[in-house]
């Protein structure tokens, strides 16, 4: 099986989502020797995009990995443009950029459409709905747009706590059969 994973958020070192994504990929590559992984990131329009790709690749190269097959694909597309194309207009399927994948795991920021790929995402919390005064208006708007597509299209939604799963059902109206709790590990 070919699995695509959006690792764009790993560039924001020190954030919870960056660490979650990095550790998720490291662990998957360490444990799974059967599937092929395509790690995707966009943005970073600076000339240093190649250095950043190398840095990410070195960080995600797991010690003691099996013979996992993985590659990293990067695009000089600003994240704001992708947010507009994917979360607002919901055009340009992920496969147009990275090729055919069976499954695509999205980040917490962008929700691309897919042609045939099954889609998985993680909801870390829904605090933008519970305490909106704690967030910048732009963050709230981006997450609301992303979550509308998650609700419509994601085949599986990982919640990192029982409280988040309950919020996803109560606030977003997502049916329980599409939600799974996977507690984050200790770093």
| pLDDT per position as a tens digit, 144-156 | 999 999 999 999 9
Q: In this structure, is residue 85 part of a structural domain? A: yes
Q: Where are the alpha helices (DSSP H) in 32-87?
A: 49-60, 79-82
Looking at residue 119, what is its pLDDT? 98
Q: What is the mean pLDDT of residues 111-130?
A: 96
Q: What is the CATH number of the domain that holds 137?
A: 3.40.50.2000
In a domain, 159, yes or no: yes
- For the record, the structure tokens of 128 come out as 């933008």
Question: Is position 186 within any domain?
Answer: no
Q: Is 107 exposed, middle or buried (0-12, 13-18, 19+ CB in 10 A)?
A: buried
Q: Which pLDDT does position 46 carry in this prediction?
A: 43
pLDDT tens per residue, range 72-101: 888 888 888 999 999 999 999 999 999 999
- pLDDT for res 47: 41
- Tell me, yes or no, whether 171 lies in a domain: yes
Domain membership flag for residue 76: yes
Judge if pTM exceeds 0.85.
yes
Q: What is the mean pLDDT of the chain?
A: 87
The parent domain of residue 84 ranges over 2-181
Q: Check residue 50 and give its pLDDT.
A: 55
Distance CA 11, CA 41 (A): 9
What was the pLDDT predicted at 57?
Answer: 64
Tell me the pLDDT tens digit for each residue of 127-181. Answer: 999 999 999 999 999 999 999 999 999 999 999 999 999 999 999 999 999 999 9
d(CA 105, CA 133): 29
Higher local confidence (pLDDT), 46 or 37: 37
Task: Please give the tally of structural domains in the chain.
Answer: 1
| Domain-located, residue 87 | yes
The reply to whether 187 falls in a domain is: no
Structure tokens at 37: 């992984």
For residue 168, tell me if it sits in a domain.
yes
- Average the pLDDT over each of 106-110, 111-115, 170-174 and give the range with the smallest value: 106-110
3-state DSSP assignment of residue 40: strand
Residue 56 φ then ψ, to 5°: -65, -45
Percent of all residues in the chain with a pLDDT value above 90, rounded to a whole number? 59
């Amino acid at each position: 099986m070919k699995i695509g994973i959006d690792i764009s958020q790993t560039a924001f070192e020190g954030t919870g989502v960056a660490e979650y994504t990095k550790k998720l990929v490291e662990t998957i590559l360490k444990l799974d020797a059967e599937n092929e992984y395509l790690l995707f990131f966009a943005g970073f329009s600076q000339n240093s995009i190649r250095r950043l790709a190398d840095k990410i690749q070195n960080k995600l190269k797991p010690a003691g990995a099996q013979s996992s097959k993985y590659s990293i694909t990067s695009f000089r597309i600003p994240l704001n443009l992708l947010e507009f194309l994917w979360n607002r207009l919901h055009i340009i399927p992920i496969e147009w950029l990275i090729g055919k994948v069976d499954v695509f795991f999205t980040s917490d920021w962008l929700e691309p459409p897919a042609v045939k790929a099954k889609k998985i995402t993680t909801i870390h919390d829904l605090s933008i709905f519970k305490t909106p005064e704690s967030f910048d208006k732009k963050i709230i708007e981006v997450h609301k747009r992303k979550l509308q597509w998650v609700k419509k299209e994601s085949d599986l939604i990982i919640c990192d706590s029982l409280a988040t799963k309950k919020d996803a059902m109560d606030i977003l109206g997502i049916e329980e059969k599409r939600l799974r709790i996977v507690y984050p590990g200790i770093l």
